[in-house]
Structure 1
């Protein structure tokens, strides 16, 4: 072999390696596609494409009456279309026809908005009922994810007490899911829960609903919010290294209201003061803090409604970035990858 040929082969191998690394590094720039009453269509997906998103989380729902009720009601005619199997399937079809990849993220809603992380049964019989009910719920959507070719499947969202109290169930459930679905797996842990999830090494991503507090200010500056991210970045990097898995923000985002960085998980609808700068600055700080980190796989902005033209935009104090200045920030960031 000549010296010139050796150099050519080494260069070719290097180029292929770099190309593979770049492909692996392509970030998930996602939106959380909210389930609606009606089917979606190309015009609604166009708004997702307009912000340069390459992924959408499709979120069918199950419902529970209270924190200690063991039965999950799901896929019924009384639910909104997008919350059902048929609706989620239709959403995925239209999204994928437009080149958007999908994470299927089944979620539970407890009456009056109780936090799912506190869901805990009082008796062994109720735990068994919950396990059977959750298995039925999640395996139905694992099957749907397999049938529709969804790229990622999320096995649960913010269910800390369920996981803490029933670890054997979750280990068995993951095996059952893998027998049905062959794509990537994650679990959406709350920001203060993810460090204690015991089964990350059985999944592909450490999933985090990233509502980390980053500022006490009414209107945080970008630099102030970035400073608030430092300790969380160190923690995220440590958990990622220990699990041997990248971090995926299964949800992230801030409200367009005062003190948006103080308790970012707060969805209290009585807080109606609009502060667009607070939302814009905290979102920009998040992008500048984590999006380029080697342990980071991407994230899904919370939340993206299909009926975009009806979003109040600059009059809205809730999470959605639609028709607000922060939408441009997301568009520019998502265009980089």
Structure 2
């Protein structure tokens, strides 16, 4: 009787917990909420010429990253060229199928989860959102090549039990012109890969993506303009997020999906909150305080929101001791004051 009593008590407790985790969506249907409150505290790992080592992983553990993005690359010659070159010997090791497999296996051994995010790089530096073919024949060829590229790495993602797979990054014109293709691509990926899916839309694109219902997360590269100040204060950064928070929350509720920042971050440079996506070398100042304040404003504004799944900091290099530092004005927080803020944020435990 005692065992039966404990069993029935357990069933009752489970029912109560599930009941408390339910809410209704806009259609009045009950949906089950994720019972865990932990966030994806991720970093975007830059591919390197060499393999990943335990020493490289140690710096990720020290900052308490629980997720890492690995990014194999495919290259196209120009914005209107349909050929995609990938998984070549002349590429850096970390950009290839063999390389990302080695990275993932070592990360998993160290209990760090992974998002794989295959990306396109235009050789002349063109923005991928403007990839647009000039003829129907070229569009069809691009579709074939892109599907092969993505499915190739989806197979790796499934074989290595990668937790999240990103089907594309900032390909606005491609999606605008060929929306049906993307739904077909998602269906093909799902035949191969059984983990969570997302797409990394640019901050000014994500509201127009037509296939969020087929994915698990609304992926956003979160380079929202936040402040026009040379050195924004934390308070200014928080105020700058207000409009974007409302917009993100609205889309999350509409699609009944959580927002995932597939990329987020700020350069340590003057006016880094004005156009955060800029990575050009014309901005030569160094402003470590701006980077800290903008990151703190982001963490205080969105990180604990229920609609927010977490994000991947842009960006992190595997040889920690040779990058960043007080004279660096690029995105990485490595060996800069901002690193302590990130460590504090990522090490915060939620009950």
Common topology (TM > 0.5)? yes
TM-score of the aligned structures, taking structure 1 as reference length: 0.95
Could you tell me how far apart the structure 2 residues matched to 1:303 and 1:8 are?
Answer: 45
Counterpart residue number, 2:336 = 324
Give 1:78 deviation, angstroms: 1.1
Could you tell me how far apart the structure 1 residues matched to 2:20 and 2:49 are?
Answer: 45
Give 1:313 deviation, angstroms: 1.1
Counterpart residue number, 1:311 = 323
Counterpart residue number, 2:24 = none
User: Mapping of 1:101-140 within 5 angstroms?
Assistant: 101-140=113-152
Could you tell me how far apart the structure 2 residues matched to 1:217 and 1:122 are?
Answer: 41
Q: Residues 166-209 of structure 1: CA distance to partner in whole angstroms, max 9, x if unpaired?
A: 01111110000000000000000000000000000000000000
Aligned with 2:58: secondary structure?
A: helix
Give 1:272 deviation, angstroms: 2.1
Counterpart residue number, 1:141 = 153
Counterpart residue number, 1:25 = 37
Could you tell me how far apart the structure 2 residues matched to 1:45 and 1:21 are?
Answer: 32
Counterpart residue number, 2:59 = 47
Could you tell me how far apart the structure 2 residues matched to 1:301 and 1:146 are?
Answer: 24
TM-score of the aligned structures, taking structure 2 as reference length: 0.92
Give 1:68 deviation, angstroms: 0.3
Counterpart residue number, 1:186 = 198
Cα 1:199–1:16 shift into 2, 3 Å = closer
Counterpart residue number, 2:239 = 227
1:71 lines up with 2:79 in the alignment: no
Give 1:24 deviation, angstroms: 3.1
Could you tell me how far apart the structure 1 residues matched to 2:168 and 2:180 are?
Answer: 15
1:57 lines up with 2:35 in the alignment: no
Show structure 1 runs of 4+ deviating over 2 A: 4-25
1:264 lines up with 2:265 in the alignment: no
Aligned with 2:124: secondary structure?
A: helix
Counterpart selection for 1:204 from 216, 226, 230: 216
Structure showing the higher helix proportion among its residues: 1
Counterpart residue number, 2:308 = 296
* Unaligned ranges ≥5, structure 1: none
Give 1:35 deviation, angstroms: 0.2
Does the Cα contact within 8 Å between 2:324 and 2:332 map onto a contact in 1? no
Counterpart residue number, 2:347 = 335
Matched positions, count: 335
Counterpart selection for 1:162 from 157, 170, 174: 174
Q: Residues 225-268 of structure 1: CA distance to partner in whole angstroms, max 9, x if unpaired?
A: 10000000000001111111000000000000000100000001
Counterpart residue number, 1:277 = 289
Counterpart residue number, 1:250 = 262
Could you tell me how far apart the structure 2 residues matched to 1:110 and 1:12 are?
Answer: 52
Give 1:156 deviation, angstroms: 0.1
Bigger shift: residues 18-27 or 159-168? 18-27
Could you tell me how far apart the structure 2 residues matched to 1:225 and 1:287 are?
Answer: 10
Give 1:271 deviation, angstroms: 1.7
Counterpart selection for 1:85 from 93, 97, 101: 97
Give 1:273 deviation, angstroms: 1.0
Give 1:270 deviation, angstroms: 2.6
Aligned with 2:283: secondary structure?
A: coil
Could you tell me how far apart the structure 1 residues matched to 2:88 and 2:296 are?
Answer: 40
Aligned with 1:314: secondary structure?
A: coil
